[in-house]
Structure 1
Amino acid sequence: MTERKMKSESLEWIMSFLIAIIAGLVIKFFLFTPIVVDGQSMKSTLNDQDRMIVSKLSKPERFDIVVFHANEKQDYIKRVIGLPGDKIEYENDTLYINGKAYEEEYLEENKKWIKEQFGEDALLTDNFTLEDLWGYETVPEDTIFVLGDNRRFSKDSRHIGVIPMKAIIGDAKIVIWPIKNAQIIR
Structure 2
Amino acid sequence: MSRKQLIYKWLWPFEKLVILAVAISAVLIFVFSFHVCDGSSMYPTISDGDMCLFYRLDTPARGDIVSYKTPSGIKIGRAVGIAGDRVSIDHEKLYVNGYEQESFYTVPGNVAEHTVKSGEIFVVNDYRTDTSDSRKYGDISLKNVEGVYFASLRTGGVS
> TM-score when scaled to structure 2?
0.86
1:145 paired residue among 115, 122, 126:
122
Quote the sequence identity (%): 28
Q: Distance in 1 between matches of 2:151 and 2:68?
A: 16
Q: Distance in 1 between matches of 2:112 and 2:77?
A: 17
Structure-1 residue corresponding to 2:107: 125
Shift of 1:127: 5.4
1:166 corresponds to 2:143 = yes
Checking the alignment, whether the CA contact within 8 Å between 1:41 and 1:153 is kept in structure 2 is yes
Structure-2 residue corresponding to 1:35: 35
Once the two structures are superposed, residues 156-186 of structure 1 have per-residue CA deviations (whole angstroms, 9 ceiling, x without a partner) of 10011111101111012211132889xxxxx
Indicate the structure with greater strand content: 2
Is the alpha carbon distance of 1:177 and 1:2 closer, same or farther for their aligned partners in structure 2, counting shifts above 3 Å? farther
Q: Distance in 1 between matches of 2:122 and 2:32?
A: 23
Q: Detail structure 1 runs of 4+ shifted over 6 Å in the superposition.
A: none
5+ residue gaps, structure 1 = 112-123, 132-136, 182-186
Once the two structures are superposed, residues 130-174 of structure 1 have per-residue CA deviations (whole angstroms, 9 ceiling, x without a partner) of 44xxxxx30111111101111112311001111110111101221
Q: How does 1:1-186 map to 2 (within 5 A)?
A: 3-71=3-71, 74-104=73-103, 107=104, 111=105, 124-126=106-108, 128-131=110-113, 137-178=114-155
Once the two structures are superposed, residues 39-82 of structure 1 have per-residue CA deviations (whole angstroms, 9 ceiling, x without a partner) of 111112211111111111221011111001112x6100011011
Is the alpha carbon distance of 1:157 and 1:179 closer, same or farther for their aligned partners in structure 2, counting shifts above 3 Å? closer
Indicate the structure with greater helix content: 1
5+ residue gaps, structure 2 = none
One-letter amino acid matched to 2:126 = D
Is the alpha carbon distance of 1:85 and 1:130 closer, same or farther for their aligned partners in structure 2, counting shifts above 3 Å? farther
Is the alpha carbon distance of 1:43 and 1:98 closer, same or farther for their aligned partners in structure 2, counting shifts above 3 Å? same
